[in-house]
Chain A
């Protein structure tokens, strides 16, 4: 069966520090991978998606970047965090147009 791992679960980082959130998927090949951000009390905002290794599409301009160095690994990064980068970050995978499966999320607080 397929599983998705996302870590860390919580993170507190100072303004201006770098960020690296990692997501890996097991039990499937060539998944579509997604990074979402969720503000408190709001729905999910798609940040990046990837349909293959090295292929990244960005949905909104921001202080973040994403990379897919391996088929089942998706990384969200920032060189210098801003206060506005705080939020709940979710990684997800899907097999094309079918339903998406989410990780447990990372709660990032930038102080």
Chain B
């Protein structure tokens, strides 16, 4: 079962910041939050991940609340190419120190001109 809750869909105007929320109230102390996106009929693309602190890279920023029960992915200047399904995922530790990503249904983000 997915360990995250996301809105099924969101709209955002081109050029504006897109803020995608995610609830993960049952996250454990050693579990990371990952964000991926999937453009229709393609393989998912990694965006960013974090544990406790806020993170930023060339694609996005990740804001994690202090209690770690929720997070927000921010795309600072959305373009039409950012239209995709965005997945918020928590990791689960497997054998051999490997990690499994528990995938939910994601948020379909539509960027409008």
Contacts and interface: CB of A to CB of B under 8 A. Distances in A.
B98 A99 contact: no
Nearest to A102: B43
Given A43-B106, A49-B94, A51-B96, A100 B42 contact: no
B45 A41 contact: no
B87 A96 contact: no
B103 A45 contact: yes
A24 B95 CA distance: 23
B68 interface: no
Contacts, number: 56
A57 interface: yes
A97 B87 contact: no
B94 A57 contact: yes
B2 to A, nearest CB: 6
Given A32-B98, A51-B96, A96-B97, A42 B46 contact: no
B43 A99 contact: no
Given A57-B95, A90-B44, A99-B49, A43 B103 contact: yes
Interface in B45-59: 45-46, 49
19 contacts: A36-B103, A41-B105, A42-B105, A43-B2, A43-B104, A49-B94, A49-B98, A49-B100, A51-B95, A88-B41, A90-B43, A97-B91, A97-B99, A100-B44, A100-B46, A102-B44, A103-B43, A104-B43, A105-B41
Interface of B: 2, 32, 34, 41-46, 49, 87, 91, 94-101, 103-106
Given A46-B101, A90-B43, 7 more contacts: A32-B98, A43-B2, A43-B106, A46-B100, A100-B44, A103-B43, A105-B43
Interface of A: 6, 32, 36, 41-46, 49, 51, 57, 59, 88, 90, 92, 96-97, 99-105, 107
